[in-house]
A and B are shown apart, each in its own frame.
Chain A
Amino acid sequence: MRREVDIQLTLAARADELPGVRQMIRAIGRTLHVDEELEGHMLLAVDEACANVVAHAYSPDHPDALMHVRAHTQADEVVFVVSDQGSPITTGKSPGAGMGLSLIRAISDAFEIEGPGDDGTRLTIHFRLPT
């Protein structure tokens, strides 16, 4: 029987929160019994999505700069949603953001950006779980 996860974190959009996000991804990898390759891809992609929020989503003086990270299993995949209430993340915004989004696209099974809108910007990253 496949194990399931459904976890949501709300964190300050700061660099010092990234190790905690990676710790959560490692815990999910252990729970779902994924191999080193899939866990490595999950780490790189979700860290990069969060790093984009930290670097690009908010102005430095924003009073309430938060990022939300949700991880849940559905059907045969694990899905990570990284969202914020800041400005848009676009591939053309800066070289760093462009490389990060290209990395996420290259190592995930599917990847979508929604927003910005009233609910901010959401990156949804899908990884197929082994059968």
Chain B
Amino acid sequence: MAGRGPTQGRIVVETDGQVSVVSLHGEHDFSSRPRLEALVATLLEQSRGVVIDLGEAEFLNVPVLGALRRAADLAVEEHKGFAVSLPAGGSWSVRRLFEVTAAQDLFPVVESVDEGVALVEQPAGDR
């Protein structure tokens, strides 16, 4: 059943100078955390905010949630926008991780990248 096998974690960035979208593909754990944290910190400096897209993420664990939480805290400190997009069709285990850990209490969780971009583009006081 090749379709159920793991896919090595990949991080893809798209930016228009205003909002950066960071897409996590495949599996992510400790190994992704340093790169993800450094990348988001840099993108927050360079743009109005960051949207993390988990639509292609097959697996995340608690250390990655920790990295997302730190990214959200950094965005607040720098008065930038931050959101995590977890679409309905995303990985079952990622959705379950978010549900059990109440991840929506740690950072804003939306259902699409468009919704995330709209949230990040709002003035800080309106988010």
Contact = CB atoms under 8 A, between A and B. Distances in A.
Interface of A: 15-16, 18-19, 22-23, 26, 29-30, 36-37, 40-41, 43-44, 47-48, 51, 54-55, 95-96, 99-100, 102-103, 106-107
Contact of B6 (A19, A51, A96, A107): A19
Contact of A37 (B8, B63, B92): B92
Given A44-B93, A103-B101, A15 B29 contact: yes
A65 to B, nearest CB: 14
Nearest to A100: B62
Given A40-B92, A51-B63, A55-B63, A26 B97 contact: no
Given A15-B31, A22-B6, A36 B61 contact: no
A18 B6 CA distance: 11
A96 B24 CA distance: 21
Contacts of B8: 19
Contact of B31 (A16, A47, A55, A102): A16
Contacts, number: 68
Prevailing SS type, chain B contact patch? helix
Contact of B66 (A43, A44, A96): A96
Interface of B: 1, 4-6, 8, 27, 29-31, 59, 61-63, 65-66, 92-93, 96-97, 100-101
B97 A44 contact: yes
A30 B1 contact: yes
B101 A30 contact: no
A19 B93 CA distance: 15
Nearest to B8: A19
B57 to A, nearest CB: 13
Given A19-B6, A22-B27, 13 more contacts: A19-B8, A26-B4, A26-B6, A36-B92, A40-B92, A41-B96, A47-B61, A48-B61, A51-B61, A55-B30, A95-B66, A100-B62, A102-B100
